[in-house]
Chains A and B, each alone.
Chain A
Amino acid sequence: MKSDKLITPRSSAYLVERIGFSTLAILSFLLAVPIIGVILYIIIHGAPAISWEFLSRMPSDGMKAGGILPAIVGTFYLTLGTAIFSVPLGIAAAIYLSEYAPENRLTRIIRIAIINLAGIPSIVYGLFGLGLFVIFLKLGTSILAASLTLSIMTLPVIITTTEESLRAVPYAFRVVSTSLGTSRWQTIRRVVLPQAVPGILTGVILGLERAAGETAPILFTGATFFLPQLPNSPLDATMALPYHLFVISTQVPGMPIQIQYGTVLVLLVFVLGMNIVATVIRSRARARRQW
């Protein structure tokens, strides 16, 4: 092979390029350092606290001992409740916006509203949920009220990512399917949705992951300081990992630091686990994509 005259290992352009790339590589690495650092730190300090007891027992001794089972179960219920409300509604809304809504002023206003909803601080959702679900709809501080509040917070994420995934499916597929004598809904269900599923799943998981880790929206709507037993109805209040963490870190004097790190680690695994699932789904779908 002939050597490239422009960039030989000795030319100054080559040197500049090497320096440039190296700098960028070092910078990216520096960005990852604090994240990896935090995760390692939590694992190192939290791991000793993790035991079957810690995961499966009720707290005892004013939460200074025992396990965090009700917080784990509570976060699971809240995430599930949020999924039940926000996933069908969010996907339906996205299908409407992407496939049916006429491009007019009303549709534009709806889109802008959804985008702006995503930027509202989560404490505002909490207060909104308190006003609407807890007080006005008389649901009380409950899993139901908290799930509904988290759903409203999650909806914009699900709607926007779903709409993006639907729009990413080439329009030509819709034309082809229509030309074969199918209704609009049949085309969506058989061609568009299957192609969009990985993107939709990613959005759903990212939205739910955020919901699982939030404290502010459930603060006034469903989370409680301590419960002697597990919740047994959607109208019960519940403990939850992020709120529990807030409580044991700030409200309980003499709290063993180990329990705090253990709780953080559990929450981290929960949220990071969802994130990893989303990433795997996405990269698998990319590899299989046919367009």
Chain B
Amino acid sequence: MDKIVVEHLNLRYSDGTESLRDLNLVIPANAITALMGPAGGGKSTFLRALNRLNDLADVVAQSGRVLIDGKDILEPEMDVIALRRKVGMVFSRPLPLPLTIYQNVSYGLEVAGERNREVLDKAVKLALDQAELWDEVHDRLSDPAEALSGGQKQRLCLARALALKPEVILLDEPTSALDPVATAKIESSLSELKKNYTIVIAPHNTQQTARVADWVAFFLQGEMIEFGPSKDIFTRPKDKRTEEYILGRYG
């Protein structure tokens, strides 16, 4: 099923950078779509377009359409708060809010007006379970989140996004600050989560792309050069630039 349809998306920042140029792609549901490419290619910018987080950045021009479940989320009258609950995000820096472990996970729900303790407790447990963190923290939920290790923090960040019951999860180089063991845990959560979620990730290297992706989009300097099933991209890329990138010729 096509969860996200991007049509002729263009985006320019106030410093004049043309960061996305005529982007067209279809992101399928229940799969991991990886955005691959050298730094500065527009992967983060594209991810932030999907939950309108670019509203916080200095964007001067944006055109085209981004349809999620058939609805254009770039429309000015779009309810961005509802959108961001539906499209969760994990950033490259594992940054818990300055709250307890529990409060980090319940934060989004509480702000949304959920007051019922039982509902919150359940949601927190479920989200921490999904992020494979529950077993490690269940007996110290009221400790400051700051006390967690880097890998645990990042799983907490995943959990706090999951607590909102999103349909889409965006991950921008989620393991770039983590060691291999912590990285493997995040990757294993993702492969479990993709059964029920649409996942879009900018992996922090090509190996990770190869490990996790079902679909791969190759981004180069604001353009999407190629899109296809991961197998095809890695075994017989259509574009020479994709091949060169995979072989490590640049970036």
Contact = CB atoms under 8 A, between A and B. Distances in A.
A179 B53 contact: yes
B85 interface: yes
Nearest to B79: A181
Contacts of A176: 91, 95, 97, 157
A70 to B, nearest CB: 46
A172 interface: yes
Interface stretch (B62-70, B105-113, B183-191, B197-205): B105-113
Contacts of B146: 290
Interface residues of B, number: 24
A7 interface: no
A107 interface: no
A78 B24 CA distance: 66
Interface string B125-154: 000000000000000000010100000000
Contacts of A191: 97-98
- Range class of the A interface residue count: 10 to 19
Nearest to B81: A181
Contact of B89 (A179, A183, A195, A291): A179
A33 B72 CA distance: 70
B111 A180 contact: yes
A178 interface: yes
A21 interface: no
B56 A181 contact: no
Contacts of A174: 56
B98 A183 contact: no
B53 A181 contact: no
A173 B97 contact: yes
A180 B103 CA distance: 13
A190 interface: yes
A251 interface: no
Nearest to A173: B97
Contacts of A194: 98
Interface string B56-96: 10000000000000000000000001101100110101010
A186 interface: yes
B150 to A, nearest CB: 14
A183 B97 contact: no
Q: Which of A180, A182, A191, A195 has the most CB of B within 10 A?
A: A180
B95 A195 contact: no
B51 interface: yes
Given A172-B93, A175-B56, A186-B111, A181 B82 contact: yes
B164 interface: yes
A182 B84 CA distance: 8
A195 B51 CA distance: 26
A122 interface: no
Given A175-B53, A290-B144, A290-B146, A181 B95 contact: no
A258 interface: no
Contact of A181 (B84, B97, B98, B144): B84
B153 to A, nearest CB: 12
A212 B82 CA distance: 49
Given A175-B53, A186-B111, A290-B144, A181 B164 contact: yes
Contacts of A172: 91, 93, 95
Contacts of A195: 98
B98 A180 contact: no
Contact of B108 (A173, A175, A180, A183): A180
A177 interface: yes
Nearest to A172: B95
Nearest to B110: A190
Given A173-B97, A290-B144, A181 B85 contact: yes
A177 B97 contact: yes
Contact of A179 (B82, B88, B98, B112): B88
A243 B3 CA distance: 73
Contacts of B161: 179-180
B98 A190 contact: no
Nearest to B93: A172
Contacts of A181: 81-82, 84-85, 108, 111-112, 164
B155 interface: no
A194 B103 CA distance: 14
Nearest to B83: A181
Contacts of A182: 81, 108, 111
**7 cross-chain pairs, A with B, having the tightest CB-CB distances, nearest first:** A181-B85, A180-B108, A181-B84, A290-B146, A179-B89, A182-B111, A290-B98
Interface of B: 51, 53, 56, 81-82, 84-85, 88-89, 91, 93, 95, 97-98, 107-108, 111-112, 144, 146, 157, 160-161, 164
Given A179-B88, A191-B97, A290-B144, 17 more contacts: A172-B93, A175-B91, A176-B91, A176-B97, A176-B157, A179-B84, A179-B89, A179-B91, A180-B84, A180-B160, A181-B85, A181-B112, A182-B108, A182-B111, A186-B111, A190-B111, A195-B98
